[in-house]
């Protein structure tokens, strides 16, 4: 602006110094381009405006210009065409007194001279108007060009060293931020940490600053490149046009430095703690889990596994790393979570009931009773708790003593002798709990921790597969024979069959020969097996052998004594058994043996007595 003002002042001095207005106008027009040389765009605009104004310059009225001190007084003073003293009273008088021929000529000559003067003045006035228009236009263009250049240059300067308005990098606004400031903002929004956090299996954290492992990233360089890409000459369009840049954040680090830090802070960072398995222990009101102890010792052969494990997370851009799943630690085999199901099961034992069904009654063992039977194997907690089998067996033995009828004497109302006591003898009749199997059953039920009702196991002879049970329909607390049974009076050699208390059949019989090896033993037996056309065979310790075919075989013992037909006898009853007795069986007439086979149900008691 100062240069422009100097040019204008020089123009003014030129007019005052004698330079003609035409010369002065040409000089100003010649310097027109220098007034708007700050910017190409503004020079072009100035030329266009100058062309328009020049075209109409002849029609433009003179303009008062404060930069040019052109006075209008002179033009105004000569507008009358006469000097102030040009009009004389004499001439006026002359015009009034009359006109001579000479006077008319003089007057005509003055009139012609005045016309030429007016033409000359009109031409000069036109030149003055053109010059004034050019000067005015030049000054206006200089003022406009100078103000626009100042606005543009001043606005552009505000963005020197910073991003333009409306600029975003990876979604973060960085308008008017230096590249360094912008990089810091992008880093904050990208959640890129300053440290690597390693969490040990015991929950403690180890921090490794990224600066300690020679971290290098492309953050600042990417932001710097984006800054260079921006066209700061277009600063005035930034507010209406969004600039977005994006890049993938990559980094590198010194693996040797990282491994060194890991080795220092993790491998050798603290005293080694041996792992311990979690286990369950009893409390005053139930059970609880004793948590595992997580060791922090690292297998020396697996240090590289630790390095690779951490590298894998860093390559995926993850800086918080839980080392619990890294297969390099000496970890416990059993954790608290592994025992939760067992714990719930144990605590539910308090509400559990184990019921044994004895047909006419039941026995229930409560969970609170078996709690004292529980023990734990801390060496291998995953095997769960164990039940003290000695205590379980003691309970089963109590059941057997109370509910077993096998091997016990019975009171029996005999046909010929009335009420009498029948010893069990060698008979197989009665309920006999298999204590070992029932104990195992009880232990399994307790370990399952589920309430249940079940029958005990009853003993089965492994040789004969005979099971020591009776007719469940007649089992009571005082009796297990009922009113349907077979009765044999060995002394009287007679057989009776009662059904529901009513005699259905009777006959004489021949029992075993009264010798130690052939005598028929008394006792309570059970009809448990039948067979047609069987060959009975055997031997004695004395070397006697036999092989006898029979039609109806009704087995009542586990050692070969039964009821069968014996057609070789000529008679039955009396003392025939003394000389012609059997090898222990009850010999019967054919029809009697057939009756038993056809009519007496299995599991029917057979009471024999001497």
> What is the sign of the dihedral through the CA atoms of 393, 398, 399 and 400?
positive
Over the chain (610 residues), the average pLDDT of each successive run of 10 is 46 47 49 42 48 39 36 34 37 37 36 54 61 54 62 88 96 96 92 87 88 90 95 90 91 90 84 82 84 83 92 90 88 88 86 96 94 76 82 97 95 96 92 98 92 97 94 94 98 98 98 96 97 96 93 96 98 98 97 98 97
Q: What is the DSSP string of 30-43?
A: HTHHHHTTT-HHHH
Pairing verdict, β 251-252 and 216-217? antiparallel
CA atoms within 13 A on the CB side of 485: 22
* Nearest-angstrom CA–CA distance, 332 and 343: 19
Answer whether 509's CB lies under 8 Å from 586's CB. yes
Answer whether 488's CB lies under 8 Å from 553's CB. no
> What is the sign of the dihedral through the CA atoms of 402, 405, 406 and 407?
positive
* Nearest-angstrom CA–CA distance, 474 and 276: 59
3-state secondary structure 179-193: HHHHHHHHHHHCCCC
Per-residue confidence (pLDDT) for residue 393, from 0 to 100:
98
Hey, how many other C-beta atoms are within 10 angstroms of the C-beta on 403? Answer: 19
Closest CA to 360 of 474, 457, 485, 483: 474
Q: pTM (2 decimals)? A: 0.53
Coil, helix or strand at residue 105: helix
Closest CA to 518 of 557, 466, 560: 560
Chain centroid to Cα 44, Å, comes to 68
Per-residue confidence (pLDDT) for residue 22, from 0 to 100:
52
* Nearest-angstrom CA–CA distance, 214 and 257: 7
- Please give the domain boundaries of the chain with CATH numbers for all domains: 1-67+118-157 (no CATH), 160-270+296-329 (no CATH), 341-404+430-454 (3.10.20.800), 483-609 (2.40.440.10)
Per-residue confidence (pLDDT) for residue 184, from 0 to 100:
92
Closest CA to 446 of 400, 402, 522, 386: 386
From its phi and psi, is residue 338 left (phi > 0), alpha (psi between -120 and 50) or beta? alpha
How far is residue 448 from each of residues 204, 289, 341, 367, measured CA to CA in Å? 39, 19, 11, 12
Per-residue confidence (pLDDT) for residue 593, from 0 to 100:
98
* 605: phi then psi, degrees, rounded to nearest 5: -65, 145
Coil, helix or strand at residue 88: coil
The pLDDT tens digits of the residues spanning 514-568 come to 999 999 999 999 999 999 999 999 998 888 999 999 999 999 999 999 999 999 9
Answer whether 531's CB lies under 8 Å from 555's CB. yes
Per-residue confidence (pLDDT) for residue 130, from 0 to 100:
54
Partners of 9 in beta bridges: none
């Amino acid at each position: 602006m100062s240069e422009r003002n100097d040019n204008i002042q020089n123009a003014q001095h030129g007019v005052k110094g004698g330079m003609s207005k035409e010369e002065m106008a040409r000089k100003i027009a010649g310097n027109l381009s220098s007034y708007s040389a700050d910017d190409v765009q503004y020079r072009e605009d100035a030329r266009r405006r100058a062309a328009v104004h020049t075209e109409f310059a002849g029609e433009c009225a003179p303009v008062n210009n404060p930069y040019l001190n052109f006075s209008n007084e002179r033009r105004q003073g000569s507008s009358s065409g006469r000097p102030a003293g040009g009009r004389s009273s004499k001439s006026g008088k002359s015009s009034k007194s009359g006109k001579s021929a000479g006077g008319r000529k003089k007057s005509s000559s003055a009139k012609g001279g005045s016309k030429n003067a007016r033409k000359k003045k009109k031409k000069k006035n036109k030149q003055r108007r053109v010059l004034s228009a050019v000067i005015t236009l030049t000054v206006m263009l200089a003022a406009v060009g100078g103000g626009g250049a100042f606005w543009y240059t001043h606005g552009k300067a505000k963005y020197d060293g910073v991003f333009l308005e409306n600029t975003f990098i990876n979604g973060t606004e960085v308008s008017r931020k230096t590249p360094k400031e912008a990089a810091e903002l992008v880093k904050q929004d990208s959640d890129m940490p300053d440290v690597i956090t390693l969490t040990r299996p015991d929950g403690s954290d180890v921090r490794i600053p990224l600066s300690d492992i020679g971290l290098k990233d492309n953050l600042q360089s990417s932001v710097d490149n984006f800054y260079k890409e921006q066209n700061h000459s277009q600063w005035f369009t930034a507010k209406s046009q969004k600039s977005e840049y994006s890049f993938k954040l990559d980094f590198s680090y010194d693996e040797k430095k990282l491994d060194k830090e890991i080795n220092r802070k993790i491998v050798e960072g603290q005293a080694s703690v041996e792992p311990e398995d979690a286990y369950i222990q009893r409390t005053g009101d139930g059970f609880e889990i004793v948590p595992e102890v997580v060791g922090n010792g690292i297998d020396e052969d697996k240090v590289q596994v630790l390095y690779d494990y951490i590298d894998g997370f860093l390559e995926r851009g993850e800086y918080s790393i839980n080392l619990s799943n890294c297969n390099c630690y000496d970890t416990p085999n059993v954790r608290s979570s592994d025992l939760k199901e067992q714990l719930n099961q144990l605590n539910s034992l308090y509400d559990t009931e184990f019921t044994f069904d004895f047909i006419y009654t039941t026995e229930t063992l409560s969970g609170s009773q078996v709690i004292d039977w529980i023990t734990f194997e801390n060496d291998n907690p995953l095997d769960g708790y164990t039940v003290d089998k000695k205590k379980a067996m003691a309970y089963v033995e109590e059941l057997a003593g109370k509910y077993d009828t096998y091997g016990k004497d019975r009171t029996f109302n005999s046909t010929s002798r009335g009420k009498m006591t029948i010893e069990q003898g060698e008979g197989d009749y009665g309920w006999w709990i298999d204590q070992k199997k029932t104990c195992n059953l009880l232990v399994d039920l307790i370990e399952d921790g589920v309430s249940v009702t079940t029958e005990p196991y009853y003993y089965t002879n492994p040789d004969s597969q005979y099971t020591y049970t009776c007719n469940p329909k007649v089992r009571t607390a005082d009796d297990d024979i009922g009113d349907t049974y077979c009765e044999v009076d060995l002394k009287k050699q007679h057989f009776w069959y009662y059904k529901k208390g009513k005699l259905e059949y009777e006959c004489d019989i021949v029992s075993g020969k009264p010798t130690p090896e052939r005598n028929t033993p008394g006792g309570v037996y059970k009809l448990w097996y039948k067979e047609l056309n069987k060959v009975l065979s055997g031997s004695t310790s004395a070397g006697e052998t036999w092989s006898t075919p029979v039609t109806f075989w009704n087995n009542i013992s586990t050692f070969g004594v039964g009821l069968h037909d014996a057609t070789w006898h000529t008679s039955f009853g009396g003392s025939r058994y003394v000389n012609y007795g059997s090898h222990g069986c009850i010999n019967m007439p054919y029809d009697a043996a057939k009756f038993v086979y056809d009519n007496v149900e299995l599991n029917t008691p057979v009471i024999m007595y001497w």
